[in-house]
A and B are shown apart, each in its own frame.
Chain A
Amino acid sequence: MAETAISPRGYLLVAGLLMLLLVATVGVAMLPLGPFGLVVAMAIAGTKAALVALYFMHLRFSTPLMRVFAAAGLLWLLIAMTLTLADYLTRAEPMIGEVMR
Protein backbone atom coordinates (compact mmCIF):
# COMPACT_ATOMS: atom_id res chain seq x y z
CA MET A 1 0.00 0.00 0.00
CA ALA A 2 1.19 3.49 -0.71
CA GLU A 3 1.30 4.58 2.89
CA THR A 4 3.89 1.98 3.85
CA ALA A 5 6.13 2.64 0.86
CA ILE A 6 8.13 5.30 2.68
CA SER A 7 10.11 4.57 5.83
CA PRO A 8 10.42 6.96 8.77
CA ARG A 9 13.98 7.61 7.66
CA GLY A 10 12.64 8.59 4.25
CA TYR A 11 10.24 11.06 5.85
CA LEU A 12 13.08 12.49 7.94
CA LEU A 13 15.18 12.92 4.82
CA VAL A 14 12.39 14.80 3.07
CA ALA A 15 11.88 16.98 6.14
CA GLY A 16 15.59 17.75 6.22
CA LEU A 17 15.48 18.78 2.57
CA LEU A 18 12.48 20.98 3.28
CA MET A 19 14.30 22.77 6.10
CA LEU A 20 17.34 23.32 3.86
CA LEU A 21 15.08 24.79 1.19
CA LEU A 22 13.54 27.05 3.84
CA VAL A 23 17.01 28.37 4.72
CA ALA A 24 17.61 28.86 1.00
CA THR A 25 14.34 30.79 0.70
CA VAL A 26 15.40 33.28 3.35
CA GLY A 27 18.96 33.42 2.05
CA VAL A 28 17.94 34.08 -1.54
CA ALA A 29 15.70 36.92 -0.38
CA MET A 30 18.77 38.70 0.97
CA LEU A 31 20.63 38.55 -2.34
CA PRO A 32 20.31 41.40 -4.85
CA LEU A 33 18.69 39.40 -7.61
CA GLY A 34 16.20 42.01 -8.78
CA PRO A 35 13.18 40.61 -10.59
CA PHE A 36 14.91 37.24 -10.91
CA GLY A 37 14.57 36.86 -7.15
CA LEU A 38 10.87 36.15 -7.50
CA VAL A 39 11.52 33.42 -10.06
CA VAL A 40 14.05 31.73 -7.77
CA ALA A 41 11.79 32.09 -4.72
CA MET A 42 8.88 30.48 -6.57
CA ALA A 43 11.12 27.71 -7.89
CA ILE A 44 12.20 26.90 -4.34
CA ALA A 45 8.61 27.09 -3.06
CA GLY A 46 7.47 24.86 -5.90
CA THR A 47 10.15 22.33 -5.01
CA LYS A 48 9.06 22.33 -1.37
CA ALA A 49 5.43 21.90 -2.40
CA ALA A 50 6.37 19.04 -4.73
CA LEU A 51 8.28 17.28 -1.95
CA VAL A 52 5.31 17.58 0.41
CA ALA A 53 2.85 16.43 -2.26
CA LEU A 54 4.91 13.53 -3.59
CA TYR A 55 6.24 12.12 -0.33
CA PHE A 56 4.16 13.33 2.61
CA MET A 57 0.93 13.13 0.62
CA HIS A 58 2.10 9.88 -1.00
CA LEU A 59 1.42 10.98 -4.57
CA ARG A 60 4.64 9.34 -5.69
CA PHE A 61 3.16 5.98 -4.75
CA SER A 62 -0.50 6.59 -5.51
CA THR A 63 -2.63 5.22 -8.28
CA PRO A 64 -2.57 7.21 -11.52
CA LEU A 65 -6.20 8.20 -10.92
CA MET A 66 -5.27 9.92 -7.66
CA ARG A 67 -2.48 11.80 -9.39
CA VAL A 68 -4.90 12.96 -12.09
CA PHE A 69 -7.19 14.39 -9.42
CA ALA A 70 -4.31 16.25 -7.80
CA ALA A 71 -2.99 17.50 -11.14
CA ALA A 72 -6.48 18.68 -12.08
CA GLY A 73 -6.39 21.16 -9.22
CA LEU A 74 -3.14 22.60 -10.44
CA LEU A 75 -4.35 22.65 -14.04
CA TRP A 76 -7.60 24.40 -13.22
CA LEU A 77 -5.77 27.02 -11.16
CA LEU A 78 -3.39 27.66 -14.05
CA ILE A 79 -6.33 28.05 -16.42
CA ALA A 80 -8.06 30.55 -14.16
CA MET A 81 -4.89 32.54 -13.53
CA THR A 82 -3.85 32.54 -17.18
CA LEU A 83 -7.21 33.85 -18.33
CA THR A 84 -7.25 36.51 -15.61
CA LEU A 85 -3.72 37.66 -16.38
CA ALA A 86 -4.47 37.64 -20.10
CA ASP A 87 -7.05 40.29 -19.34
CA TYR A 88 -4.97 42.47 -17.05
CA LEU A 89 -1.70 42.23 -18.92
CA THR A 90 -3.24 43.26 -22.23
CA ARG A 91 -4.79 46.43 -20.93
CA ALA A 92 -3.42 49.83 -21.77
CA GLU A 93 -2.06 51.63 -18.72
CA PRO A 94 -3.13 51.71 -15.95
CA MET A 95 -3.33 48.05 -15.10
CA ILE A 96 -6.11 48.49 -12.57
CA GLY A 97 -8.97 50.75 -13.63
CA GLU A 98 -9.13 53.19 -10.77
CA VAL A 99 -5.56 54.14 -9.95
CA MET A 100 -4.96 54.07 -6.19
CA ARG A 101 -2.93 56.61 -4.30
Chain B
Amino acid sequence: MGMREAEAAFQFDDLDQQRETAGLGMWTFLVTEVMFFGGLFGAYIIYRMAYPEAFAAASHHLYMWIGAINTGILLGSSLTMAMAVHAAAHAHRRQLVGYLAGTAGLGAVFLVLKGVEYALDIHDRIVPGVNFHAEAFAAFPDRAEMFFVIYFIMTGLHALHVTIGVGVIVVLALMAKRGWFSARNHNAVEMTGLYWHFVDIVWIFLFPLLYLIT
Protein backbone atom coordinates (compact mmCIF):
# COMPACT_ATOMS: atom_id res chain seq x y z
CA MET B 1 0.00 0.00 0.00
CA GLY B 2 3.01 2.28 0.29
CA MET B 3 3.68 4.93 -2.28
CA ARG B 4 6.88 4.96 -4.21
CA GLU B 5 9.55 7.21 -2.68
CA ALA B 6 11.31 9.47 -5.09
CA GLU B 7 14.65 11.22 -5.39
CA ALA B 8 15.14 14.70 -6.68
CA ALA B 9 16.19 14.93 -10.33
CA PHE B 10 19.95 15.39 -10.71
CA GLN B 11 19.84 19.16 -11.24
CA PHE B 12 18.18 19.82 -7.89
CA ASP B 13 19.80 19.88 -4.45
CA ASP B 14 16.79 18.21 -2.84
CA LEU B 15 13.07 17.53 -3.23
CA ASP B 16 12.12 20.82 -1.61
CA GLN B 17 14.05 22.76 -4.23
CA GLN B 18 12.50 20.62 -6.96
CA ARG B 19 9.03 21.36 -5.62
CA GLU B 20 9.74 25.09 -5.34
CA THR B 21 11.01 25.15 -8.91
CA ALA B 22 7.91 23.38 -10.16
CA GLY B 23 5.78 25.92 -8.35
CA LEU B 24 7.63 28.88 -9.84
CA GLY B 25 7.29 27.35 -13.28
CA MET B 26 3.57 26.78 -12.91
CA TRP B 27 3.03 30.29 -11.53
CA THR B 28 4.92 31.69 -14.53
CA PHE B 29 2.54 29.81 -16.80
CA LEU B 30 -0.42 31.11 -14.80
CA VAL B 31 0.90 34.65 -15.23
CA THR B 32 0.76 34.13 -19.00
CA GLU B 33 -2.79 32.84 -18.58
CA VAL B 34 -3.68 35.95 -16.57
CA MET B 35 -2.50 38.06 -19.49
CA PHE B 36 -4.37 35.79 -21.93
CA PHE B 37 -7.72 36.14 -20.19
CA GLY B 38 -6.81 39.68 -19.16
CA GLY B 39 -6.87 40.83 -22.76
CA LEU B 40 -10.41 39.53 -23.12
CA PHE B 41 -11.43 41.17 -19.85
CA GLY B 42 -9.92 44.36 -21.27
CA ALA B 43 -12.10 44.12 -24.36
CA TYR B 44 -15.12 43.54 -22.13
CA ILE B 45 -14.28 46.62 -20.06
CA ILE B 46 -13.92 48.87 -23.11
CA TYR B 47 -17.17 47.77 -24.73
CA ARG B 48 -19.16 47.82 -21.52
CA MET B 49 -17.96 51.34 -20.79
CA ALA B 50 -18.93 52.41 -24.30
CA TYR B 51 -22.33 50.69 -24.43
CA PRO B 52 -23.62 50.20 -20.88
CA GLU B 53 -27.36 49.93 -21.65
CA ALA B 54 -26.87 47.42 -24.44
CA PHE B 55 -24.66 45.28 -22.23
CA ALA B 56 -27.15 45.37 -19.36
CA ALA B 57 -30.02 44.39 -21.65
CA ALA B 58 -27.99 41.59 -23.26
CA SER B 59 -26.81 40.30 -19.89
CA HIS B 60 -30.43 39.78 -18.81
CA HIS B 61 -30.81 37.21 -21.55
CA LEU B 62 -28.27 34.93 -19.94
CA TYR B 63 -29.36 32.15 -17.58
CA MET B 64 -28.15 33.61 -14.30
CA TRP B 65 -29.07 30.60 -12.18
CA ILE B 66 -27.07 28.23 -14.34
CA GLY B 67 -24.15 30.60 -14.00
CA ALA B 68 -24.60 30.82 -10.23
CA ILE B 69 -24.84 27.06 -9.77
CA ASN B 70 -21.79 26.59 -11.97
CA THR B 71 -19.91 29.04 -9.79
CA GLY B 72 -20.78 27.00 -6.73
CA ILE B 73 -19.70 23.83 -8.51
CA LEU B 74 -16.30 25.24 -9.36
CA LEU B 75 -15.79 26.59 -5.85
CA GLY B 76 -16.59 23.11 -4.52
CA SER B 77 -14.21 21.55 -7.00
CA SER B 78 -11.43 23.81 -5.73
CA LEU B 79 -12.15 22.47 -2.26
CA THR B 80 -11.89 18.85 -3.43
CA MET B 81 -8.69 19.69 -5.32
CA ALA B 82 -7.15 21.25 -2.20
CA MET B 83 -8.16 18.15 -0.26
CA ALA B 84 -6.53 15.99 -2.92
CA VAL B 85 -3.21 17.82 -2.56
CA HIS B 86 -3.50 17.49 1.22
CA ALA B 87 -4.13 13.76 0.88
CA ALA B 88 -1.10 13.42 -1.38
CA ALA B 89 1.09 15.24 1.13
CA HIS B 90 -0.02 12.81 3.84
CA ALA B 91 0.27 9.70 1.67
CA HIS B 92 -3.45 8.88 1.91
CA ARG B 93 -3.69 7.22 -1.47
CA ARG B 94 -7.36 6.23 -1.43
CA GLN B 95 -8.39 9.75 -0.37
CA LEU B 96 -6.15 11.23 -3.05
CA VAL B 97 -7.79 9.16 -5.76
CA GLY B 98 -11.23 9.93 -4.39
CA TYR B 99 -10.72 13.66 -4.22
CA LEU B 100 -9.16 13.79 -7.69
CA ALA B 101 -12.12 11.82 -9.05
CA GLY B 102 -14.48 14.18 -7.24
CA THR B 103 -12.77 17.23 -8.71
CA ALA B 104 -12.94 15.80 -12.21
CA GLY B 105 -16.56 14.87 -11.64
CA LEU B 106 -17.50 18.37 -10.55
CA GLY B 107 -15.65 19.77 -13.54
CA ALA B 108 -17.64 17.46 -15.78
CA VAL B 109 -20.90 18.60 -14.19
CA PHE B 110 -19.86 22.20 -14.87
CA LEU B 111 -19.31 21.34 -18.53
CA VAL B 112 -22.66 19.55 -18.81
CA LEU B 113 -24.48 22.56 -17.35
CA LYS B 114 -22.52 24.85 -19.67
CA GLY B 115 -23.58 22.69 -22.60
CA VAL B 116 -27.21 22.85 -21.54
CA GLU B 117 -26.88 26.60 -21.23
CA TYR B 118 -25.36 26.92 -24.70
CA ALA B 119 -28.22 24.81 -26.09
CA LEU B 120 -30.69 27.19 -24.49
CA ASP B 121 -28.76 30.16 -25.89
CA ILE B 122 -28.91 28.64 -29.37
CA HIS B 123 -32.62 28.09 -28.95
CA ASP B 124 -33.00 31.72 -27.87
CA ARG B 125 -31.16 32.76 -31.04
CA ILE B 126 -28.51 34.91 -29.45
CA VAL B 127 -25.46 33.33 -31.05
CA PRO B 128 -23.58 35.90 -33.13
CA GLY B 129 -22.74 34.80 -36.62
CA VAL B 130 -25.01 31.75 -36.28
CA ASN B 131 -28.55 32.77 -35.56
CA PHE B 132 -28.42 36.10 -33.74
CA HIS B 133 -31.86 37.66 -33.81
CA ALA B 134 -31.76 41.33 -33.07
CA GLU B 135 -35.47 41.94 -32.44
CA ALA B 136 -35.06 41.75 -28.69
CA PHE B 137 -32.43 44.49 -28.92
CA ALA B 138 -34.03 46.81 -31.45
CA ALA B 139 -32.50 49.91 -29.87
CA PHE B 140 -28.93 48.63 -30.10
CA PRO B 141 -28.67 45.44 -32.20
CA ASP B 142 -24.95 45.45 -32.94
CA ARG B 143 -23.97 46.58 -29.46
CA ALA B 144 -25.93 43.74 -27.89
CA GLU B 145 -24.44 41.32 -30.37
CA MET B 146 -20.98 42.47 -29.27
CA PHE B 147 -21.82 41.46 -25.70
CA PHE B 148 -22.69 37.96 -26.87
CA VAL B 149 -19.49 37.73 -28.93
CA ILE B 150 -17.53 38.45 -25.76
CA TYR B 151 -19.75 36.11 -23.70
CA PHE B 152 -19.31 33.11 -26.02
CA ILE B 153 -15.59 33.63 -26.55
CA MET B 154 -14.78 34.11 -22.88
CA THR B 155 -16.95 31.29 -21.55
CA GLY B 156 -15.90 29.07 -24.45
CA LEU B 157 -12.22 29.64 -23.78
CA HIS B 158 -12.84 29.07 -20.08
CA ALA B 159 -14.76 25.85 -20.81
CA LEU B 160 -11.83 24.68 -22.92
CA HIS B 161 -9.56 25.25 -19.92
CA VAL B 162 -11.97 23.30 -17.70
CA THR B 163 -12.04 20.43 -20.21
CA ILE B 164 -8.25 20.24 -20.33
CA GLY B 165 -8.15 20.36 -16.54
CA VAL B 166 -10.66 17.53 -16.20
CA GLY B 167 -8.61 15.41 -18.60
CA VAL B 168 -5.38 15.99 -16.70
CA ILE B 169 -7.05 15.30 -13.34
CA VAL B 170 -8.49 12.01 -14.61
CA VAL B 171 -4.99 10.95 -15.69
CA LEU B 172 -3.65 11.99 -12.28
CA ALA B 173 -6.32 9.92 -10.54
CA LEU B 174 -5.31 6.87 -12.55
CA MET B 175 -1.64 7.49 -11.78
CA ALA B 176 -2.44 7.97 -8.10
CA LYS B 177 -4.33 4.68 -8.06
CA ARG B 178 -1.16 2.96 -9.27
CA GLY B 179 0.97 4.54 -6.58
CA TRP B 180 2.90 7.07 -8.63
CA PHE B 181 2.85 9.75 -5.93
CA SER B 182 4.51 9.83 -2.54
CA ALA B 183 4.17 12.21 0.37
CA ARG B 184 7.50 13.77 -0.50
CA ASN B 185 7.02 13.94 -4.25
CA HIS B 186 3.62 14.68 -5.75
CA ASN B 187 4.37 17.83 -7.69
CA ALA B 188 2.08 16.93 -10.60
CA VAL B 189 -0.90 16.87 -8.26
CA GLU B 190 -0.01 20.14 -6.62
CA MET B 191 0.77 21.95 -9.89
CA THR B 192 -2.45 20.72 -11.49
CA GLY B 193 -4.15 22.05 -8.39
CA LEU B 194 -2.68 25.50 -9.05
CA TYR B 195 -3.99 25.37 -12.62
CA TRP B 196 -7.43 24.28 -11.45
CA HIS B 197 -7.67 27.03 -8.84
CA PHE B 198 -6.69 29.57 -11.47
CA VAL B 199 -9.49 28.37 -13.76
CA ASP B 200 -11.84 28.78 -10.79
CA ILE B 201 -10.59 32.34 -10.18
CA VAL B 202 -11.25 33.28 -13.82
CA TRP B 203 -14.85 32.10 -13.46
CA ILE B 204 -15.20 33.96 -10.14
CA PHE B 205 -14.76 37.14 -12.14
CA LEU B 206 -16.59 36.00 -15.27
CA PHE B 207 -19.82 35.23 -13.43
CA PRO B 208 -20.66 38.69 -12.04
CA LEU B 209 -19.25 40.54 -15.05
CA LEU B 210 -21.23 38.59 -17.63
CA TYR B 211 -24.35 37.47 -15.78
CA LEU B 212 -25.04 40.24 -13.28
CA ILE B 213 -24.91 43.49 -15.25
CA THR B 214 -27.69 45.75 -14.00
Contact = CB atoms under 8 A, between A and B. Distances in A.
A18 B75 contact: yes
A1 to B, nearest CB: 7
Contacts of B208: 25, 29, 41-42, 44-45
A45 B197 contact: no
Contacts of B75: 15, 18-19, 22, 48
Interface stretch (B39-47, B105-113, B168-176): B39-47
B153 to A, nearest CB: 17
Chain B contact surface mostly: helix
A70 B83 contact: no
B81 interface: yes
B35 A76 contact: yes
B197 A69 contact: no
Contacts of B39: 80
Nearest to B47: A96
A70 B141 CA distance: 40
B35 A80 contact: yes
Given A25-B208, A95-B50, A101-B143, A3 B31 contact: no
Nearest to A81: B42
B58 interface: no
Contact of B142 (A4, A6, A48, A101): A101
Contacts of A96: 46-47, 50
Interface in A1-51: 1, 3-4, 6, 8, 11-12, 14-15, 18-19, 22, 25-26, 29, 33, 37, 41-42, 44-45, 48-49
Interface of A: 1, 3-4, 6, 8, 11-12, 14-15, 18-19, 22, 25-26, 29, 33, 37, 41-42, 44-45, 48-49, 52-53, 55-57, 62-63, 65-66, 69-70, 72-74, 76-77, 80-81, 84-85, 88-89, 94-96, 100-101
Interface of B: 16, 19-20, 23-24, 27-28, 30-31, 34-35, 38-39, 41-42, 45-47, 49-51, 64, 68, 71-72, 75-76, 78-79, 81-83, 85-86, 89-90, 140-143, 146, 190, 193-194, 197-198, 200-201, 204-205, 207-209, 212, 214
